[in-house]
Amino acid sequence: MTAKTLDGKLTAAAIKAELTERVARLRDRGVLPGLATVLVGDDPASHSYVRMKHRDCEQVGINSIRVELPAAATAAQVEEAIVGLNENDACTGYIVQLPIPKHLDENWALSLIDPDKDADGLHPINLGRLVLNEPATLPCTPRGIVELLKRHGVELRGAEVCVIGRGVTVGRPLGLILTRRSENSTVTLCHTGTRDLADHTRRADIVIAAAGVPGMVTADMIREGAVCVDVGVSRVDGVTTGDLAPDVWEKAAWVTPNPGGVGPMTRAMLLSNVVDRAEALHA
């Protein structure tokens, strides 16, 4: 028996169709949502992700603004770019594409973003709101994973969820989102210090692998009929490889393809965050 597909590409397309309607309503009222990206340096993967985000915007009718800085950009230049977007009315939401060059501090850059324009939900105010259970813009990847599971009828209420990875963009906020009363999952957050990872994954109804270690979750580590979500993006001999080994498809009930799973959902949630923000700013 092979698992069913948690189809991120198809789900993202459905979400984009819904957003196209909402953007049209905003435009009727004279509100033009605009997403800006700040890209520092010349990492080819980052350039490719940013390109996809601008193409997504075009598809749903969101204006997009591209800010690019050289790899050697100074902190002052980065600050100027960010402050410029805070003050630019054409930009209703934006992201600083991560990672940024090592001589710059990521948390410092994120903290300069106007929290009301924070399309990534990574500003400390928004992460704090999530911890405090207040309405917040949520980080795109965790929001996309939850949306993907819900739209496929995967029960989160009472589910045992094993999240592998404690990163600020995925694992840690995902644990916070899933343990809200509205999701009501029980979360085990595993990481490199976890003594016996398989002992935790085998108990889980849902395993979410966000470690960035290619093929680390194998069939023997999951329960029969588990739901498996692959967040990992690694390059192995030029091929995008996730954290799930191919044999999990033989044992799981549902699996996200990768590519075609979490990645497109992440981008769809970025658009959703921008539309949510534009609606809120012009309520």
Just list the catalytic residues.
53, 97, 120
Our CB check for ligand GUE shows the closer of 33 and 121 to be 121
- Least separation, in Å, of the C-beta of 280 and ligand GUE? 20
Check the annotation: does 263 bind a ligand: no
Our CB check for ligand GUE shows the closer of 175 and 264 to be 264
- Least separation, in Å, of the C-beta of 270 and ligand GUE? 6
Check the annotation: does 165 bind a ligand: yes
Our CB check for ligand GUE shows the closer of 84 and 259 to be 259
- Whose CB is nearest to ligand GUE? 263
- Least separation, in Å, of the C-beta of 36 and ligand GUE? 12
Judge contact between 110 and 239, C-beta under 8 A. Answer: no
Contact residues: ligand GUE, CB under 6 A: 49, 52, 95-98, 120, 140, 233, 240, 259-260, 263-264, 266-267
Check the annotation: does 223 bind a ligand: no
Binding-site sequence positions for NADP(+): 165-167, 233
